[in-house]
Amino acid sequence: MWDVRWVCDRDVERAAQVAPDVPVTANLDEVLADPRVAAVAIATPARTHADIASAAIRSGRHVLIEKPLASSLAEGEAIVAAAAAAGVTLMCDHTYCYTPVVDRMRSMVASGELGAIHYIDAVRVNLGLVQPDVDVFWDLAPHDLSILDAVLPGGLRPTAVAAFGADPLGVGHSCMGYLVLSLPNGGIAHVHVNWMSPTKIRSVVVGGARRTLVWDDLDPGQRLRSFDRGIDVIDLSNPDARRDVLVRYRSGDMVAPALPEREALAGVVQEFAAAIRERRSPRTDGAAGLRVLRILDAARRSLESNGANVPLSDTAPLAVSA
């Protein structure tokens, strides 16, 4: 499916050990001068994505970029615009979106099996690695934001974002934090990220009116569970008596659907190749990357305003409100 023509890395000796049968260079121009090169995969620090992607796009190459798409919303928008103008395929490596568990979650939400989504809780914590150039939100949150973008119909489009972070290590940016996203249907999404946890947790809970999904990525036996448990409202006929609303607690079955084993990165490169050959947008295209960057940018604004709510819309510029 793919022939690797070059490996470009600043550490040529290390790269040669990883790919002993492939030409290695530290010069990107040398790679882009080779007419055999049709596409470039970028797996470098986010601050370098814009320059490398722009050079590849200008040379007419298709581009795959690991998360996040760029180190700022403005850079991401410039990359997407350049790719569209050049007519090349731009894809974000939102790896988790190509796992069997996310495929199943997306299909279950789309089918209406869960009902209206009331809440989402995502936790991604571990001990390290503390990044020197980005905070914990830009490092860890893109994983969960991209998952929610893939699972929710129409993508992740919150109406407002609030961020709360702390820097107890004194490294100059948040080492732990919480994102609160207001969803268009009145629901709420919560993302917890932390570099300082002694335990590793990778979980997502999607609570619907009918069923609730629980994904525990560290449990290979039951990565995904579907619960028929929740609360049913019995009577809302009298708006003046909402405090007396009757509820029924539902406690039904738990089902752990069988999921195939498939390497997520294999799905990424297969989708990249298919999108190029079929001349279509990949599932995690530039627009998906921008939706994630848009939330991260709103989180930055919120942190600068001590956790103030940052309203978002698809058309209006970002603004901060108390």
pLDDT in tens, 307-322: 999 999 754 443 333 3
Is residue 280 included in any domain, yes or no? yes
Average pLDDT in the 145-154 region? 96
Residue 251 lies in a domain: no
Cβ(212)–Cβ(205) below 8 Å: yes
Q: Tell me the helix, strand and coil percentages in the chain, rounded to 5.
A: 35, 30, 40
We report the CATH number of the domain holding residue 280 as 3.40.50.720
∠ CA 201-206-211, nearest 5°, is 130
Q: What's phi and psi for 236, nearest 5 deg?
A: -125, 25
**Checking DSSP bridges between strand 62-66 and strand 212-216, what pairing results, if any?**
unpaired
- SS3 assignment for 171-208: CCCCCEEEEEEECCCCCEEEEEEECEEEEEEEEEEEEE
Identify the CA nearest to 121 among candidates 27, 45, 189: 189
Average pLDDT, the chain: 92
Measured in Å, how far apart are the chain's first and last C-alpha atoms?
A: 52
How far is Cα 52 from Cα 153, in angstroms, rounded to an integer? 32
Q: How many domains does the chain have?
A: 1
pLDDT of amino acid 302? 97
Residue 28 in any domain: the answer is: yes
pLDDT at 133: 86
The predicted-structure confidence for 76-105, as pLDDT tens digits, reads as follows: 999 999 999 999 999 999 999 999 999 999
Q: How confident is the model at residue 244 (pLDDT cuts 50, 70, 90)?
A: low
pLDDT at 283 over 50: yes
The band of 243, judged by pLDDT with boundaries at 50, 70 and 90, is low
Dihedral sign of CA atoms 222, 223, 226, 229 in order: positive
- Taking the CA atoms of 148, 150, 156 and 162 in sequence, report the sign of the dihedral they define: positive
Does the residue 125 lie in any domain? Answer: no
Per the domain annotation, does 269 fall within a domain? yes
In a domain, 213, yes or no: no
Structure tokens belonging to residue 284: 């995690």
Q: pLDDT by residue (tens digit) across 51-76?
A: 999 999 999 999 999 999 999 999 99
pTM above the 0.95 mark?
no
pLDDT band at 46 (very low <50, low <70, confident <90, very high): very high
Quick one: pLDDT at residue 240?
61
- 147 DSSP assignment: H
- The lowest-confidence range among 8-17, 101-110, 229-238, 254-263 is 229-238
In a domain, 291, yes or no: no
Closest CA to 125 of 137, 110, 117: 137
Find residue 163's DSSP bridge partners.
179
Domain assignment of residue 277, given as a range:
7-95+265-286
Domain presence at residue 153: no
What is the distance, to the nearest Å, from the Cα of residue 132 to the centroid of all Cα atoms in its chain? 21
Give the Cα separation of 99 and 93 in Å (integer).
Answer: 12
